[in-house]
Amino acid sequence: MTGARGTTLDAFKLDGQICLVTGGAQGIGLAIAHGLRDAGGHVIIADRDTERGQRAADEIGGDFVEMDVTDSVSVEAAFEGVVGRHGRLDVLVNNAGIVKNTAALDTDDASWRALMAVNLDGVFYCCRSAARFMIRQHGGSIVNIASMSGSIANRPQPQASYNASKAAVIHLTRSLAAEWASDGIRVNSLSPGYVGTELTKRGFENAKWREAWINGTPLARLAKPEEIAPGVVFLASRASAFMTGSDLVMDGGYTIW
């Protein structure tokens, strides 16, 4: 369909938009960086490993900025640097995340805190820093990578801290969407099911876990990272202009059963 604002496909374009992806050096984050670049965006990879991050940035023809999402000072400095260089920030994808497959009774304070520091504090710090600039320019789209684990408890592996952190990301997303809607900022989350990356590699090598993961997924396989990226392009772009506070589930059907 065509109209005054262009074709439907035009709505997915991110021409010239400045996009930052945390944890973009590998896995789902790197695939998202490719997707945003393919849609026309200028992508900045933010990660804590400088060498891997710079290599990924070179691969997509974008920039790299060093950032540890658990450190609000590092986060603030990185966003100031990006906006100082590019003059604006249009899209933030909070993708950095870790998992700990520890039984609840074996989870000590440090382990709990370390997971929350990346998966929840990090998302909040980045949203807060980005929003300061997005409010000033009255526009922006934030996509938080949550997980189906924010809605269900995975099996057979224990991961209470991860599941709780992702549920919190989904509700943080809704809360910030409500708070910043009048500032022209949309905030949505995307919840993948099992995706083949470093994060799931060890679990997938475990026959019992692999069987449960595959049997629990109607599409009977893991996703490839590049199958998640189009969902992020959708949420980042004008294609989802009337969506905010939503959680887009891409889980091969896992949460149906």
Question: Which residues contribute to the site for ligand NDP (CB under 6 A)?
Answer: 22-23, 25-29, 47-49, 67-70, 95-98, 118, 122, 145, 147, 192, 194-195, 197-200
Minimum CB distance to ligand NDP smaller for 140 or for 192:
192
Minimum CB distance to ligand NDP smaller for 39 or for 190:
190
Shortest distance in whole angstroms from residue 169 CB to ligand NDP = 8
Minimum CB distance to ligand NDP smaller for 70 or for 246:
70
Shortest distance in whole angstroms from residue 213 CB to ligand NDP = 9
What is the rounded CA–CA span in Å between residue 251 and residue 43? 26
Shortest distance in whole angstroms from residue 117 CB to ligand NDP = 7
What is the rounded CA–CA span in Å between residue 111 and residue 127? 24
Residues 6+ apart with CB under 8 A from 103: 158
The b/e string for 182-193 (b: 16+ C-beta within 10 A; e otherwise) is eeebbbbbbbbb
3-state secondary structure 108-130: CHHHHHHHHHHHHHHHHHHHHHH
What is the rounded CA–CA span in Å between residue 126 and residue 119? 11
Shortest distance in whole angstroms from residue 252 CB to ligand NDP = 11
Residues 6+ apart with CB under 8 A from 67: 22, 46, 47, 48, 74, 75, 78
Q: How many Å is the maximal CA-CA distance in the chain? A: 59
Minimum CB distance to ligand NDP smaller for 170 or for 239:
170
- Give the three-state DSSP class for 42: strand
Shortest distance in whole angstroms from residue 45 CB to ligand NDP = 9
Minimum CB distance to ligand NDP smaller for 133 or for 194:
194
What is the rounded CA–CA span in Å between residue 163 and residue 99? 9
What is the rounded CA–CA span in Å between residue 170 and residue 75? 21
What is the rounded CA–CA span in Å between residue 130 and residue 146? 18
Active site residue 162: yes
Shortest distance in whole angstroms from residue 63 CB to ligand NDP = 15
Minimum CB distance to ligand NDP smaller for 9 or for 110:
110
Active site residues: 162
